[in-house]
Structure 1
Amino acid sequence: MRTWGPLTAVCLGTFMLLLDVTIVVVALPDMAAALHASLSDLQWVVDGYALALAALLLGAGAAADVLGRRRVHVAGVVVFAGASLLCGLAAGSGTLVAARALQGVGAAAMFATTLPLLGSVYQGRQRSAALGVWGAVSGGAAAVGPVLGGLLAQGPGWRWIFFVNVPVSVAEVWLTLRVVPESRGPRGMRVDGAGTVAFAVFAGAVTYAVVRAGENGWTAPAALGAFAVSALALAGFVLVERRAAHPLLDLSLLRRPAFVGVMAGAFAFNGAAFGGMPYLSIWMQTLLGMSPVRGGLTLLPLTVAAMVVAVLVGRLLHGVPARLTIGGGLLLIGSGTFCQAVLDAGAGWTALLPGFVLVGVGTGFVSPTVAGAALASVPSERAGMAGGAVNTVQQLGYALGVAVFGTVLSSRMRGTLPDDAAHTLAGGGADVLRGGFSEHALRTAFASGLNTALLVAGAAGMVAGGLVLLLVRAPRAGADAAAGPAKEAVAPRG
């Protein structure tokens, strides 16, 4: 316990918080039926968590350096557990969305402290082994999420997706307090509160703008107003970071083409690979009649391919330039989503299989190398900052991907269905519409919307892959990829 207890505690929390990114995907139709939720409600159930996690990750890491990493981690678990209980008890979609956002706040405190806690405990070969286990657990959480979500939704009900977090959180707090020592960052560090607020407002406003555009159109006053707020918040963030003594993000890093390329790749990665999954799940369950379990199992080809390739990349491609693994992986993800855009009224889920496998293979190339490439693209004293930044843009990319693809989906369906019907169908309300529209019309509309959303996702993957191949040319990127997580765990933030 003394040797591997801290690793067990940290991995337990990591698995739980990353599991909740994907576990809700296959339960969305059940949530929509139980809570009378709209498409925008379902988007926020997914995005509320991912957005809060992305917006607060850098700030939570800075706070942990000052206040104590174990203390902040435990506080995050407590918040996460309380929010999970509120999610399970939610009587309406608004309460569920608010509780999901609170979950994301706790998850940010947990995620920001995982690698620093490991880095403070393990050294040398033990650290390498511990980080390898942590990486496997991180990847496994996303893979297990849809399957476990389907089992819980079809068994005791979708609320148990959240209830199960409570006893796990209790065990996590007990174990962390017992076996994980307290640690802090260098003295003199300060929390960039203004930068944290500005970035959170930017991320939330731009996502809200995209969701509102899906409901009311891109020129609707609410959407335009939210876009304006997001632009002002981004400008404020830049001004704050230029003057802060301990900024969340050193803007001079953006003058490094390799760093910009890796950030672009990380941003597009989660969105292109996984942003369309909520809508594929809704399609499979509400129009193809699949159960939540079967809907989750259809994603196994993707997740198994990703896990197998990630292991092989770690063992066989050490030293290969990260621009090739990340750029090539994103091109595969883009190609895979293009291959999925072949749906019509008579299509079944097997039409997605070749694309799922390609996306999985691409994910296996990108996932284990993107963080190390970010760290290798900056000076060593900025490694911690780069590690936080790459995790932040990945989660933000997923949140915006879900919002954008939902808007594209509903907008495309308005070409064949009335506005209200298109929005209802995209939100999982096929049963409500079956009395007024033929099954063929509903399937045709949803398939056309999915195809368009998948084409947008594929284009994002291809463009990002090209940018990575063009910009990420630092000679250290490939060589340092495997060592990146270790540097991220121990490097100072500022």
Structure 2
Amino acid sequence: MRIWGPLAALCLGTFMLLIDVTIVLVALPSMSASLGSSLSQLQWVADGYALAVAAALLGAGMVADRHGRRRVYTVGLVVFAVASVACALSPGMEWLIAARLVQGVGAAAMFTTTLSLISTLYSGRRLGLAFGVWAAVASSASALGPVLGGLLTQALDWRWIFYVNIPVTLLALAMTFRFVPRSTPDRTAARRLDVPGVALCALGAGGLVYALTASHAGGWISAGTLVPLGMALVAFAAFVAVQRRSTHPLLDLSLFRRPAFTAAMITIALGEGTVYGILPYTSLWLQSVQQLSPIGAGLVVLPHAVAAGLVAVLCGRWMPKPSPRLGAGLGLLLAGLGTGLEGFLGPGSGWPVLVGGLALSGVGMGLVFQVAASLALGSVPAGRAGMASGAYSTCEQLGYAVGVAVFGSLAVSAMSCSLDGEAADPEATARTLSGGGADTLLAAVPAGERASFEHTLHAVFATGHNTLALTAGALSVAGAALVLWLTRRPKAAEPVPGPAPEPVRAPH
């Protein structure tokens, strides 16, 4: 247990915090019926958590380097558990969204320390295997979230997707204190937290996601979209300026001069944003159009989880030092092709059409999770492990948050165009439909016209989903090409021809 105990404790926390990213997806319709919500609020239930994780990760990584990684990990577990109780007791959507933000802060403290702890506790082939097991847990957690969420929502209530975190947290705390050794704080780290850096990073990330989420309601040229978008761009520019001048930066920007590190950040951000960014809308299609139960919708995604987990474990077992070209590039390529295969739905299509694409994208994401994490930490000095782990996790969660927001706006736009001439207010109808309100729309139509309008809604949702899947697939494939270019091997310099050397003559 001295070998596997620490890994089990860390993977348990990772599984819990990552499963909470997607566990809410199949519960969104039940939350909407219970609390009443708009599409924007549903997006924030999914996005607010990931956004809080992304915004707090770099700051949590710096705190962990200064005060000890195990200590920060355990504090994160406690905050996560308390916020989970607050989520479960939510009387309204505003409370739920606020509690999800706090939950994300606790998850950030856990997430930013996990990879750095693994990298210090293991070495050699054991490190490769440990990363493989961690990647299998991470990839399968994201995909198993809808399955577990469906089981709890259908058997009990949507609130139990948060209550279930309590016993898991207690077990993770007990195992951490038992098996994970105390980590030595870095005395050379900055004496105080980079508050300007943390604030600017959070403002930039929050403004960007808020603008993208608001765009589907007010349009891209509305003040509600342009103002937060402008604030986000200014905040990110100021963040870069502050980090370049800081003696102890929150994020050492020189790390991005390392092609492997940059490739790892692009790989995880694009993989999360494309594959899992469209998953909320896939779940809504399965439940609101296909009329599957929450557990049925979750089981449709199970092939993705199984494929991702198996590939990650095998990759860690046989490739302790993965090639960025074969791992990251191939992973993004397969993820993109699989996601693109999900973009061929028709009005009469059923859920089996999705299974092949979901399985293929699972194979790709299994590679992505295992290889990107190894590259991120293996391409930087040991003293920067906490920073690299925080940067990796920030890109992962911000990629997911931006993906959900962007594809939400694209879904409304695509469905609105398809409804032109079919509904009195195409945009309002598209917002309701993309939020899982197909039954609400049908109930407002006279009984004699429902069959025809239902066929229209099925066709419109299929068109919208196809647009999302094909766009996501194309972005992932383009990202694969970029990663392959970044990790190309430089050609050896050819010798410059010059005059032939004079023969050496023996002295007289």
TM-score under structure 1 normalisation? 0.90
What pairs with 1:2-151 in structure 2 (closer than 5 Å)?
4-118=4-118, 130-151=130-151
Tell me which amino acid in the other structure corresponds to 2:80. F
**Structure 2: how far apart are the matches of 1:80 and 1:256?**
34
Distance 1:321 1:179, change over 3 A: closer
- Provide, for residues 364-412 of structure 1, a one-character-per-residue CA deviation record: whole Å limited to 9, x for no partner: 2222111222334445554443332122111111111111111100111
Asked if residue 445 in structure 1 is aligned to residue 460 in structure 2, the reply is yes
CA distance in 1: counterparts of 2:483 and 2:7, whole angstroms: 33
Partner of 1:478 in structure 2?
none
The SS at the match of 1:40 is helix
Alpha-carbon shift at residue 444 of structure 1 (Å): 1.4
Do the aligned partners of residues 126 and 309 (structure 1) sit closer, same or farther apart at CA in structure 2, a change above 3 Å counting?
closer
CA distance in structure 2 between the aligned counterparts of 1:443 and 1:422, rounded to whole angstroms: 12
8 Å Cα contact 1:35-1:92 kept in structure 2:
yes
Q: Give unmatched runs, 5+ long, in structure 1.
A: 476-494
Query: Are 1:258 and 1:474, in contact at CA under 8 Å, matched by a contact in 2?
Result: no
In the alignment, structure 2 segments of 5+ residues that lack a partner are 491-508
> Which residue of the other structure, out of 189, 194, 219, is the alignment partner of 2:221?
219
Q: CA deviation at 1:262?
A: 2.9
CA contact (8 A) 2:132 2:317 kept: no
Deviation at 1:172, TM superposition (A): 2.8
Counting matched residue pairs gives 475
Greater shift in the superposed pair: 104-113 or 167-176: 167-176
Q: Which amino acid aligns with 1:231?
A: L
When residues 103 and 419 of structure 1 are mapped into structure 2, their CA distance, relative to the original with a 3 A threshold, is: same
Provide the rounded CA distance (Å) in 1 between the counterparts of 2:279 and 2:208: 21
**Conserved? CA contact 1:78–1:169, under 8 Å:** yes
Offset from partner CA, 1:319-361 (integer Å, 9 cap, x none): 6621222112212222222211111211111121221122112
Superposed CA deviations along residues 230-286 of structure 1, whole A, max 9, x for unmatched, are: 011101101110121221221223334443333222211111111111111011101
Superposed, which structure 2 residues align to 1:442-481 within 5 Å?
A: 442-473=457-488
Task: Check whether the contact 1:409–1:452 (CA below 8 A) recurs between aligned residues.
Answer: yes
- Residue 205 of structure 1 aligns with which residue? 207
Between the aligned partners of 2:228 and 2:269, the Cα distance in structure 1 is 21
**Aligned-pair distance for 1:104?**
0.4
* Equivalent residues in 2 for 1:229-378, closer than 5 Å: 229-317=231-319, 321-378=323-380
Q: 1:414 to 1:192 in 2, by over 3 A?
A: same
Which secondary structure does the structure 1 equivalent of 2:26 belong to? helix
Q: Is 1:420 aligned with 2:428? A: yes
Compute the TM-score of the two structures, normalised by the length of structure 2: 0.88
Measure how far apart 1:110 and its partner are. Answer: 1.1
Q: What letter is aligned with 1:451?
A: N
Identical positions, percent: 52
The 10-residue stretch of structure 1 (300-309 or 399-408) with the greater mean CA deviation from structure 2: 300-309
Shift of 1:182: 2.6
Equivalent residues of 1:327, 1:468 under 8 A apart? yes
Contact 1:340 1:454 in 2 (8 A): yes
Q: Is the 8 A contact 1:259 1:472 kept in 2?
A: no
369, 389, 392: which one aligns with 1:390: 392
Deviation at 1:60, TM superposition (A): 0.4
Q: 1:272 to 1:126 in 2, by over 3 A?
A: closer
Query: What do the CA deviations read for 1:71-100 (whole angstroms, capped 9, x no partner)?
Result: 222221111111101111112111111111
Q: Which amino acid letter does the alignment assign opposite residue 100 of structure 2?
A: R
Structure 1 residues 136 and 419, CA, compared in 2 at 3 Å: closer, same or farther?
closer
Task: Give, in whole Å, the separation in 1 of the partners of 2:179 and 2:383.
Answer: 29
Q: Take 1:175 and 1:307, find their aligned partners in 2: how far apart are those partners? A: 23
- Assess if the C-alpha contact under 8 Å between 2:77 and 2:173 holds in 1: yes
Distance, in Å, in 2 between the alignment partners of 1:128 and 1:264 is 21
CA distance in 2, matches of 1:320, 1:83: 37
* Separation in 2, partners of 1:311, 1:134: 8
Q: Distance in 1 between matches of 2:286 and 2:370?
A: 30
1:345 and 1:62 map into 2 onto residues whose CA distance is 51
Cα shift at 1:9: 2.8
Larger Rg: 2
Q: Secondary structure at the match of 1:341?
A: coil
Which has the larger displacement, 67-76 or 264-273? 67-76
> Residue type matched to 1:169 in 2?
T
Q: C-alpha displacement at 1:130, in angstroms?
A: 4.9
